[in-house]
Amino acid sequence: MTLRPLLLLLGVALGSLGGCAEADEGEVVLEFWAMGAEGEKVQPLIERFEAEHPGIRVEVQQQPWTSVHEKLLTAFAGRSTPDVSQFGNTWVAEMQALGALEDLTPYVHRSEAVDEGDYFGGIWDTNVIDGRLWGVPWYVDTRILFYRTDLFAEAGYDAMPTTWDGWLEAMRAVQAVQPDGGYPILLPVNEFEPPLILGLNTAELLRDGGRYGNFASPAFREAFAFYVGLYREGLAPATSGTEISNLYQEFDRGRFASTITGPWNIGEFQRRLTEHPDDWGTAPIPGPTAGTPGVSVAGGASLVIFEASEHKAEAWELVEFLSRPEVQIEFNRLTGDLPPRASAWEASGLADDRYARAFFEQLGRVRPTPKIPEQERIAQTIRTYGEAAARGQMTIDEALAALDADVDRILEKRRWLLDREAEG
């Protein structure tokens, strides 16, 4: 091997290990971690930012979602966190508790580019802990209903009902017109989102200041019983997502008439439904009672600045740039990710799009999950007992009692810390 190829290989290796290039004199280099497709597709926007901000260079490090959480914890321990990072908004509480994040409250108060009033309230709230802001929403995610409009119309429903009672009656009517073996709704039992979303409609998930689970309460039980009842009545199959070979094919054939899923499936449904490409629609989650609009979960990703950054002012300039409505519209065109600002929806026409419109409506009614570091473990515990009840392995009351007991154990350290704080 000649020297030049060897040096090139070494350069690639060192680049992948360190990820940083030397800054030219007078130049600031920002390290920006972005995950998955966003890390790849954000590059044209970064080039625009650099053109507008001579003297600032941004190095985007594309990180896989599967391992970035551990990498962030490792980077924090080693004081090697990036300047700016994309962040799942359920991670904010954990990193804020560690002291890893910069408080963005004063930045937003001074900013003309980041207008809190233009953001969906429930999404913005996922970044607020104890009255302080720790991240700025970058794109949003929530879950709504995707359904076969022709099957619902044949059953007598030109639109999705807005209450749980009406929704239940509609599903029973749809099953009567489906092919044999069909189910009005698919809610894979290995997904925590459906029982979580239904629970957010009726109850607080935790009680006593986030010290204990609240799952055996009458309010959460109402939602959980509705969820389990769909399986017990045969309206939903008690199967996991991995047991379904091709969701889109089964939806096309009418085996499943609806499901609860996220915005990424707009494009998938458009591409993959071939027998009924125009016979599907989207709708917000129905509410538990008349006059109580349904809520869904507030998800998505935020932009955070790390406390250890030596270039916080420049990092905030990048956050402001990526938060501009016109930049968010371009980001949506590049990635398909939904913007967190209402003005971007309206200016781009997304708010009137046939399939995205229901997301726009739902995003006005989303709730964050408990903003505590233990939330992801709690969500998986909800899934475990939701699946056990859906499969008939536990009664509703057995599952909720066990869920409370497990969550209380998860929160044991939190209670100890809160009690110590209370004692001063």
Name the superfamily (CATH) of residues 144-296+370-423. Answer: Periplasmic binding protein-like II (3.40.190.10)
Question: Is residue 237 within 8 Å of 183, Cβ to Cβ?
Answer: yes
Question: Is residue 120 within 8 Å of 364, Cβ to Cβ?
Answer: yes
Per-residue pLDDT at 2 exceeds 50: no
What pLDDT shows up at residue 22?
A: 62
CATH 3.40.190.10 in the chain is located at 28-141+298-363, 144-296+370-423
pLDDT band, very low/low/confident/very high, at 196 (cuts 50, 70, 90):
very high
- State the chain's mean pLDDT as an integer: 93
Structure tokens at 358: 């229901």
DSSP 323-336: HSHHHHHHHHHHH-
CATH T-level assignment (fold) for domain 28-141+298-363: D-Maltodextrin-Binding Protein; domain 2 (3.40.190)
What pLDDT shows up at residue 36?
A: 86
Q: How many CA atoms lie within 13 A of 13 on its CB side?
A: 6
Per-residue pLDDT at 25 exceeds 90: no
- Measured in degrees and rounded to the nearest 5, phi and psi for residue 213 equal -70, 150
- What is the C-alpha to C-alpha distance for residues 180 and 12, in angstroms, rounded to an integer? 57
What pLDDT shows up at residue 423?
A: 84
What average pLDDT score do residues 329-352 get?
96
What pLDDT shows up at residue 9?
A: 37
pTM of the model: 0.90
Angle at which helices 43-52 and 325-335 pack, to 10 degrees? 150
* pLDDT tens-digit map of 77-136: 999 999 999 988 888 999 999 999 999 999 999 999 999 999 999 999 999 999 999 999
* pLDDT tens-digit map of 40-62: 999 999 999 999 999 999 999 99
What average pLDDT score do residues 313-326 get?
98
